[in-house]
Amino acid sequence: MAAALTALALVSVANPAAAADPVRVVALGDSLTQGYGLPPEEGFVPQLQGWLDAEGHDAIVINAGVSGDTTAGGLNRLDWTLADAPDAMIVALGGNDLLRGLDPAGSRANLDAILQRVTAQDIPVLLVGIPAPGNYGPDFKRDFEAMYPELAAEYDVRHYPNFLQPMTDKQEAGQSFTDLMQSDNIHPNAAGVALIVTAMGPEVAALIGEVKAQAAPATQ
């Protein structure tokens, strides 16, 4: 028995990754993250968890989405979010700033403050953008859409340009995307979320890989 325990201990030392805890990914967002209007198992976070599990990634995705939240709301609850001790964070905020027509300068300042605090703790981030409609004018659209790639570059974090990319793809192909949306035409239905997860999943997987690379012992 003692010899067996010694052998097990040696295996654990030789392969520390085998005993590592799952990577904790906190998704900080609004109703798109929270899963508004969908059964719990069909929202963004559960479907992303299922995609990661199927792809063999040892990670736990924690839902920190709050329906109706703006970038200011995300910033205001950042202490609570960080209390979940994330290893990585998905930041997907801005949709409600758009719906309310809030000044992009304020949205940018809020995202800047979030990224500053999170990266100061060496937590890898995936910053997820969303396209602005043209009805607020070209200056608004330019400033809003520019803040995501510019902040990602400033803080050297990962950037995924468009949470709703599958819908945008259909629109740009001249097709209706209402089959992917709930009746409000704002929130994706379960099929829409599945396509979002398929599109964004590889970026989340890369984020998890970044965490594991940070944790890996330096080679001699």
The residues, ordered by sequence, that sit 6+ positions from 43 with a Cβ below 8 Å of its Cβ are 34, 35, 36, 63, 193
Joined tokens for residue 109 = 């300042």
Would you please indicate which residues are annotated as catalytic (active-site) residues? 31, 184, 187
CB neighbour burial string for 183-193, b if at least 16 within 10 angstroms, e if fewer: eeeebbbbebb
Cα–Cα distances in angstroms (integers) from residue 25 to residues 3, 60, 208, in the given order = 38, 6, 8
Q: Compute CA 131 distance to the chain's CA centroid, rounded to the nearest angstrom.
A: 16
